[in-house]
Amino acid sequence: MTTFSDPFSQIAAVLAVAAAIGAPAFWLRQPLIIAFIFVGILLGPAGLGWVHGLDQVDLFAKLGIGLLLFMVGLKLDLHLIRSVGRVALCGRRHDATSRVSPDRWF
């Protein structure tokens, strides 16, 4: 089991492994997020234990969520949301009112 003495070498190792696993996933046209989640599980405390400090795990988790939300924001199509938004809003209103209607109480 390989352990790293400082957080910078842990980050470098995780990024290197993520690139090594992400490249074939990209070439096979698989979602990169699945490959990155796999790398996190593989190198985390439950896997090989390369990242063993709780502070580093928390840092990686926050960075991963931030990057995931950034990637989702880049791929967000406002025209699609505008066209589907009205239907989704009506469906949400129906769902909320059907849950509190008196016929469901008995």
CA distance 31 to 10: 24
Among the listed residues 59, 57, 18, the one whose alpha carbon sits nearest the alpha carbon of residue 38: 18
Residue 89: pLDDT band with limits 50, 70, 90:
low
Tens digits of per-residue pLDDT, 4-28?
A: 677 777 778 888 888 999 899 889 9
Q: What is the pTM of this model?
A: 0.55
92 membership: H or E segment, kind and range: helix 78-99
Contact between 36 and 57 (Cβ < 8 Å): no
